[in-house]
Chain A
Amino acid sequence: KAGVTQTPRYLIKTRGQQVTLSCSPISGHRSVSWYQQTPGQGLQFLFEYFSETQRNKGNFPGRFSGRQFSNSRSEMNVSTLELGDSALYLCASSLISRKSETQYFGPGTRLLVL
């Protein structure tokens, strides 16, 4: 099976712009989680989607949003970009949304905000 794919791999944006990142989970996986990784804050949970419904949400401002489509593919959107949004955004998929489920990570999208 193909692994988790994320597009684009690299992005450069300027402050105030908005950005949309995409994640395609492993075939058959219905749960998708998003994480932000920065040197200062480490890995922080953004949100999790399961069967097109947001199951959990991390402590991020409303500028960060996401959605999941019927084929389990997910997108996250960041509006009104700030310099501090520069990070590696990781997507992870699992079969279902349960604590026992292993999450499989994609390669990430590196976002640079200038």
Chain B
Amino acid sequence: AQTVTQSQPEMSVQEAETVTLSCTYDTSESDYYLFWYKQPPSRQMILVIRQEAYKQQNATENRFSVNFQKAAKSFSLKISDSQLGDAAMYFCAYRRGNNDMRFGAGTRLTVKP
């Protein structure tokens, strides 16, 4: 079974600083996709960034970037220049083939002014 583990239930960061959220996953597949979703207090889940497993290059989206280590099955999210609006629950997710998306337990990020 594919599982996704987020070992940090809570993280905090000072505004304008950088924070890294961890995610590991378990799979025997070689072709899959990884996602980071953000769920602000308003509850609407929003895609932050996604990574295709067959691509070596780490995905980036403005202040958000990932460190994808395929051999280590690690997919961490780095948020640079943190802003108050980045405060949310962050979920790491995995999907292969036509299977359903599997989510980690989430990391609650607090941004301190």
Contact = CB atoms under 8 A, between A and B. Distances in A.
A58 B103 contact: no
What's the dominant secondary structure at chain A's contact region?
A: strand
Contact of A33 (B42, B44, B100): B100
Contacts of B33: 99-100
Interface stretch (B10-18, B63-71, B80-88, B90-98): B90-98
B100 A108 contact: no
Interface residues of A, number: 23
B45 A99 contact: no
A21 to B, nearest CB: 15
Interface residues of B, number: 26
A45 B100 contact: yes
B35 A102 contact: yes
A63 interface: no
Given A42-B106, A99-B33, A99-B95, A107 B100 contact: no
A33 B93 CA distance: 14
B43 A42 contact: no
A58 B106 CA distance: 20
Given A42-B106, A43-B91, A103 B101 contact: yes
Given A56-B99, A58-B100, A99-B98, A90 B35 contact: no
Given A35-B103, A43-B106, 5 more contacts: A45-B100, A45-B102, A99-B31, A99-B32, A99-B99
Interface of B: 31-33, 35, 37, 42-47, 50, 52, 91, 95-106
